[in-house]
């Protein structure tokens, strides 16, 4: 009955208790596969600046065969730092495609962090050289940490991590986070850090190129996270002309990702590697780039996973939501 309808709420603490990295990886893998197979749709992205200084966006999509429909309202509010809060904010809503009624509202911050890290891990699994031993990461924030964490999970020989900060200063908390898991060192020479690394991860606000194009050696793989809005970038001019480019969604990457700066660059969607539609065919001297803009299907498959688990375990709040 309509008067018996319920709305499930899953807050920050409940999400963090339910999120399991291995399960998130499988959900993200499914999202990319559904996209490749044409079963999962990604709708046009909304991404707009606000007079408050924030950026507000909506990513939405569906999987009609699975009755999966929803969106993530998210963005970046830098002033939150002054309030002692996280500048990235996200809320996910799952909707019943038969009625249009909301089914579940979920705090999306931890989901966004984890699903982006999982996507980065899949990119490394599919594209980085298996014998990679060294990594350079630009940034030391939440996303930089989760990207490095997944890199350590999937690259068995990875043992050296160099990090570069915006202000050129050491970040003791970043080093402590990975203490005992790898050799961590701060680098003040950006180009040298890139040249000496097998894998490069860029996880910054995307304010401009982070290093020179000639610093990238043959055989390097790059996961690029920070360019997710028109005008943002982390890679230098000319680099995309030298690389084999992989994206999560071709249209979205050309609109808001690194690919916006060279939209005519040939690219392959990562889902096509997962489904086997196209081979990675990576050669030892190839420079590969994974332009990670984040697609709605990642959020929806992970949100569905959490919704199901929360209902099974009672790890959520249920409200009467009659109509």
Write out the two tokens for 310. Answer: 């929360």
Distance CA 138, CA 16 (A): 25
- Please give the average per-residue pLDDT across 132-158, as a whole number: 97
pTM assigned to the model: 0.95
Flag whether pLDDT at 51 surpasses 70.
Answer: yes
pLDDT at res. 3: 78
pLDDT at res. 111: 98
pLDDT at res. 159: 98
Write out the two tokens for 266. Answer: 């040939």
pLDDT at res. 197: 98
User: How many Cβ atoms from other residues are within 10 Å of residue 87's Cβ?
Assistant: 18
Q: Shortest CA distance to 37 belongs to which of 250, 266, 274, 252?
A: 274
In three-state secondary structure terms, 94 is: strand
- Please give the average per-residue pLDDT across 288-292, as a whole number: 98
List, in order of start, the domains of the chain with CATH numbers.
Answer: 2-111+297-320 (3.30.1780.10), 117-294 (3.40.50.720)
Summarize pLDDT for 274-287 with one digit per residue, the tens.
Answer: 999 999 999 999 99
pLDDT at res. 1: 60
Flag whether pLDDT at 126 surpasses 90.
Answer: yes
Instruction: Provide the H-helix boundaries in the chain.
Output: 12-18, 21-37, 109-127, 142-154, 172-177, 190-195, 250-256, 270-275, 296-313
Summarize pLDDT for 169-219 with one digit per residue, the tens.
Answer: 999 999 999 999 999 999 999 999 999 999 999 999 999 999 999 999 999
pLDDT averaged over every residue in the chain:
97
Its sign, for the CA torsion 60, 233, 182, 169, is negative
DSSP letters spanning 2-27: GGG-EEEEE-HHHHHHH--HHHHHHH
pLDDT at res. 254: 98
Quote the Cα angle for 259-255-286, to 5°. 15
pLDDT at res. 2: 76
> For residues 229 and 88, is the Cβ–Cβ distance under 8 A?
no
Summarize pLDDT for 89-121 with one digit per residue, the tens.
Answer: 999 999 999 999 999 999 999 999 999 999 999
């Amino acid at each position: 009955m309509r008067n018996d309808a319920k709305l499930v709420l899953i807050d920050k603490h409940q999400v963090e208790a339910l999120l399991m990295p291995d399960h998130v990886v499988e959900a993200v893998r499914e999202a990319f596969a559904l996209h490749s197979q044409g079963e999962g749709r990604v709708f046009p992205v909304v991404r707009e600046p606000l007079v408050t200084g924030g950026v507000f966006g909506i990513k939405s999509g569906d999987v009609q065969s699975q009755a999966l429909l929803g969106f993530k309202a998210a963005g970046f509010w830098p002033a939150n730092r002054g309030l002692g809060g996280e500048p990235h904010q996200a809320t996910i809503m799952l909707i019943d495609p038969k009625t249009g009624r909301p089914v579940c509202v979920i705090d999306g911050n931890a989901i966004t962090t984890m699903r982006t890290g999982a996507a980065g891990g899949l990119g490394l699994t599919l594209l980085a050289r298996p014998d990679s031993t060294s990594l350079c990461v630009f940034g030391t924030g939440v996303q930089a940490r989760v990207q490095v964490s997944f890199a350590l999970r999937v690259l068995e020989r990875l043992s050296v991590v160099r990090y570069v900060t915006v202000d050129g200063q050491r970040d003791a908390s970043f080093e402590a986070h990975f203490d005992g898991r790898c050799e961590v060192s701060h680098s003040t020479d950006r180009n040298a850090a890139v040249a000496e690394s097998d894998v490069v991860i860029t996880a910054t606000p995307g304010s401009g190129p982070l290093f020179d194009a000639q610093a990238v050696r043959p055989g390097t793989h790059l996961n690029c996270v920070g360019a997710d809005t028109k005008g943002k970038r982390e890679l230098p001019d000319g680099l995309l002309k030298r690389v084999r480019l992989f994206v999560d969604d071709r249209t979205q990457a050309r609109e808001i990702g690194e690919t916006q700066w060279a939209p005519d660059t040939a690219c392959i969607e990562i889902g096509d590697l997962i489904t086997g539609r196209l081979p990675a065919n990576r050669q030892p001297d190839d420079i590969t780039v994974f332009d990670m803009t984040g697609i709605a299907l990642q959020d929806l498959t992970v949100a569905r996973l959490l919704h199901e688990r929360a209902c099974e375990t009672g790890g959520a709040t249920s409200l009467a939501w009659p109509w």
